Amino acid sequence: MTDKPAPDTRDVAVLREELARLREEAHHLRAQVRTRPLISQAQGILAERYRLPDAESAFALLRLASQHHNVKLRVLAEAVTRAPRPQGRGGPWLPRPSQEPPPLESIGVDTPDAVDRGRVLREVLSQALAVTGAGMGNVQIADPAAEELRIVQHTGLDAQFIKHFAVVGAGTTSCAQAAEGGELTTVHDVATHPVFSERDRRAILLAGSRACHSVPLLDEDGVCRGVVSAHLERPAKALHPAQVAALGAVGQEAGRWLGWQERGLIREALEHLHALGRQGSGNS
């Protein structure tokens, strides 16, 4: 009996890369399927509430408020569908919030109500690198509905790495695993860890990273608002409990602040949308 020849390792690698590409395409298609009905529902609500001539007029208002306040269109549409109906023609849509900003003591910010997201995330990255002794790292912001992480801050990583991992889908990397699992995820050796595709592994190794620690930024409801990752040049040992605790504090405080900040942005966008709608309908 003749033994079957072993599969060519190059063919196996090609098949794995193709499978990863198809998974990514399916991921984006699922996100689109979830988003379109939500936006259509919000258009209908706005058109009825403000007596707009058609759905396109409602979409124009949504897009304007979304762009002005830097809130994703899908996020704003979801807020429209969930927020209570405004009471009366005049006045604001929603009552003034009473929640104070969460503290940011672990990253050394004394005035959490007077800083922008960029500074907070820079401090988060700086603290994560200091705790782990790493020289490279990045911060990603989460889009739960699209199941994506997007790099918004980085240091020490080359342009090819940033381009390759600009947007990461669910379950495809250690940072995605940290986001999904809601806990610190450590890759002790990138060269051998099974989570990475060969294409991703090459990109990480070429950037000079051999190990990484990824910390989810969780809000008070346990929703992942982002991930901070520290990359090391050599295989990593287990972190000391004090390091784990310090990273946990950073992740918790940053996540809660990001949740507070996003709620504020959404509220401002809704109020702007309300004002635009009243102008369009002739109400004041």
**Residue 244 and residue 229 in one domain:** yes
**Residue 139 and residue 254 in one domain:** yes
**Residue 202 and residue 135 in one domain:** yes
What is the structure's pLDDT at 15?
66
What is the structure's pLDDT at 98?
61
What is the structure's pLDDT at 212?
97
Pairing between strand 211-218 and 136-143?
Answer: unpaired
Here the contacts of 117-124 (C-beta below 8 Å, separation 24 or greater) are 117/258, 117/261, 118/153, 120/254, 120/257, 120/258, 121/152, 121/153, 121/226, 121/254, 122/153, 124/153, 124/217, 124/228, 124/250, 124/254
**Residue 55 and residue 173 in one domain:** no
Residue 3 lies in a domain: no
Instruction: Write the CATH number for 180.
Output: 3.30.450.40
What is the structure's pLDDT at 92?
83
**Residue 238 and residue 268 in one domain:** no
Q: Does the pLDDT of residue 191 top 90, yes or no? A: yes
**Residue 188 and residue 47 in one domain:** no
What is the structure's pLDDT at 3?
58
> What does the longest C-alpha to C-alpha distance in the chain come to?
87
pLDDT band with cut points at 50, 70 and 90 for residue 114: confident
**Residue 148 and residue 215 in one domain:** yes
pLDDT band with cut points at 50, 70 and 90 for residue 96: confident
Threshold 0.75, pTM exceeds: yes
**Residue 86 and residue 159 in one domain:** no
**Residue 277 and residue 198 in one domain:** no
d(CA 73, CA 38): 10
Residue 195 lies in a domain: yes
What is the structure's pLDDT at 2?
54
Average pLDDT, the chain: 88
pLDDT (mean) for 144-149: 81
**Residue 204 and residue 271 in one domain:** no
What is the structure's pLDDT at 36?
83
What is the structure's pLDDT at 11?
66
pLDDT digits (tens, 9 = 90+) for 16-59: 666 656 655 655 555 555 668 889 999 999 999 999 999 999 99
Residue 4 lies in a domain: no
**Residue 33 and residue 137 in one domain:** no
pLDDT band with cut points at 50, 70 and 90 for residue 157: very high
Residue 100 lies in a domain: no
Cα angle: 195, vertex 198, 203; to 5 degrees: 95
Question: What is the number of structural domains in the chain?
Answer: 2
Pairing between strand 185-187 and 167-169?
Answer: unpaired
pLDDT (mean) for 8-22: 62
pLDDT digits (tens, 9 = 90+) for 54-71: 999 999 999 999 999 999
Q: Higher confidence at residue 34 or residue 164?
A: 164
**Residue 243 and residue 202 in one domain:** yes
Q: Higher confidence at residue 133 or residue 278?
A: 133
pLDDT digits (tens, 9 = 90+) for 221-263: 999 999 999 999 999 999 999 999 999 999 999 999 999 999 9
Could you tell me the residue range of the domain that residue 187 belongs to? 105-261
